[in-house]
Amino acid sequence: MSDPNINKYKQVNKQMWNEYVAIHSRSTFYGLKEFKEGVNKLNPLELGEVGDVKGKSLLHLQCHFGMDTLSWARLGANVTGMDFSEEGIALACSLAEELKIPSRFICCDLYDLPNHLNETFDIVFTSYGVLTWLPDIARWAQIAASCVKPGGFFYIAEMHPFAAVFDYQAMELRYRYPYFDKEALSFEVEGSYADHNAEVTVKNDFEWNHTLGEIITSLINAGLQIEFLHEFPFTVFEQLPFLEHDGKGIWNFPGEGKPPIPLMFSLRAIKPAIK
């Protein structure tokens, strides 16, 4: 993290995510109304791969405004969510109080989490569009692993980093961004992935790419043992403009042919129990 502008980039990103909370909470993409009526907002993928959480402690890293965190709580987990957005955490706390769902939320930068939390969890969970906002993937892995109890596990479902090399505005697969680029990338902000027409004051965000090898190696170096790594030809949002929505929250490549690239991956890694 030698770039002297990183703190400025992170502040811009936080301003954008603070704006996104109001946009996302009223969007059909997030379906807050349905959530309040009892709908679980977790996807079948993470529900199946994380498994039974009843009675387990669960830390949700980068939880946005807490719907997934609270969905885990509805399934019986003892949950803690963290995010750097003040607006996100405020809404998460408000939802928990309104719906009477036991939970705890922490507002801080992920890299500052050890100064706010000194305990370990059966499950450390994070999902979908989280790694691109982190400049230091090795430090992320160290913090995530430090929060896992011996015998517990870390789980992530995330956009595949290889899919990020393609132009997100083109109507075909067109290479645009180097896979191994380590510099901060700036993108024009036009609305949100949940509402393309939303008005925002932040006009550019800053993101970082991390290769799949870097992600896996960082978790191994942090003391975790990889249990599985899965790659998927579908995604949970309109990652590329020509993907087709199945009407159930999944976007696929069009046509009947074989999908050309992975769009998402999931990974579970355990912390060895103390003998």
252 by DSSP, 3-state: which? Answer: strand
- Supply the pLDDT for residue 256: 84
Instruction: In whole angstroms, give the CA distance from residue 27 to residue 2.
Output: 37
> 81 - beta bridge partners?
60, 105
Instruction: In whole angstroms, give the CA distance from residue 75 to residue 46.
Output: 13
- Supply the pLDDT for residue 4: 84
Instruction: In whole angstroms, give the CA distance from residue 56 to residue 79.
Output: 8
Instruction: In whole angstroms, give the CA distance from residue 103 to residue 81.
Output: 8
Q: How far from 113 is each of 59, 65, 142, 143, 274, CA to CA, in Å? A: 11, 17, 11, 8, 24
Instruction: In whole angstroms, give the CA distance from residue 71 to residue 262.
Output: 27
pTM above 0.85, yes or no: yes
- Supply the pLDDT for residue 31: 95
How does 9-23 read in b/e, with b if 16+ C-beta sit within 10 Å? Answer: bbebbbbbbbbbbeb
CATH 3.30.930.10 fits 6-270, yes or no: no
DSSP string, 71-115: HHHHTT-EEEEEES-HHHHHHHHHHHHHHT---EEEES-GGGGGG
- Supply the pLDDT for residue 2: 66
Cβ partners under 8 Å of residue 114, min gap 6: 143, 146
pLDDT (tens, 9 = 90+) of the chain, 275 residues, equals: 468 899 999 999 999 999 999 999 999 999 999 999 999 999 999 999 999 999 999 999 999 999 999 999 999 999 999 999 999 999 999 999 999 999 999 999 999 999 999 999 999 999 999 999 999 999 999 999 999 999 999 999 999 999 999 999 999 999 999 999 999 999 999 999 999 999 999 999 999 999 999 999 999 999 999 999 999 999 999 999 999 999 888 999 998 889 999 999 999 999 999 77
Cβ partners under 8 Å of residue 152, min gap 6: 120, 121, 122, 123, 124, 270, 271
The residue count for the chain: 275
Q: Cα(first)–Cα(last) distance of the chain, in Å?
A: 36
